[in-house]
Amino acid sequence: MRVKHSRRSFLQIASAAGVAAAVGQVGTAAAKGYVLSATEGEHLVHFRDHGIIIIKVGSATGSDNLGLGTQQVRIGTGIPVHRHFHMDEAFYVLAGGGIFILNDVRHSFEKGGTIFIPKNSWHGFENPDHELLLLWVVTPAGLDGFFRDACTPPGVPPKQLTREQTNEIARKYGTEFR
């Protein structure tokens, strides 16, 4: 029996194979450490705002204790209020500014700012006037898994997730959205 694949499914399979090969190589090197250039890492397109996420360190690259990457947040899209049950999280603001909500208290932030969120704290971003570029760090790793399940590689159409589907994926990684 012969299976016919569309161009899109071929690209998805090829992209996944390339990521798996790259992750396998980095995962092997993780015990010794590794160095990535500014453009290296696993590139994903966010399902909600189509911003670019680059995962640099995480469970798929051999680090169960730390996740690190960058996230582009398009103007006006923000990050909905959510919390992580088992992860502490920190952000360094590489570009942009706006309002950060931490446990229902609103804080202004700008480029160069640092934000720390202890596990179980409700938090989110509003950026009505500026695109954001955030460096995120979580411990232990896990946020990378959420991004991998909810987002898509560049060139693949973004997933159309309902609020319930998003929360189902989030719960797998110890996260919930309000």
**Predicted confidence (pLDDT) at residue 24 exceeds the cutoff of 70:** no
pLDDT band at 4; cut points 50, 70, 90: very low
pTM of this prediction exceeds 0.75: yes
43: helix, strand or coil: strand
- pLDDT band, residue 31 (cuts 50/70/90): confident
Distances (CA, A) of 86 to 34, 121, 173, 174: 26, 10, 9, 6
Topology (CATH level 3) of domain 7-177: Jelly Rolls (2.60.120)
101: its two tokens? 């909500």
CA angle, 26 as apex, 22 and 28 as ends, to 5°? 120
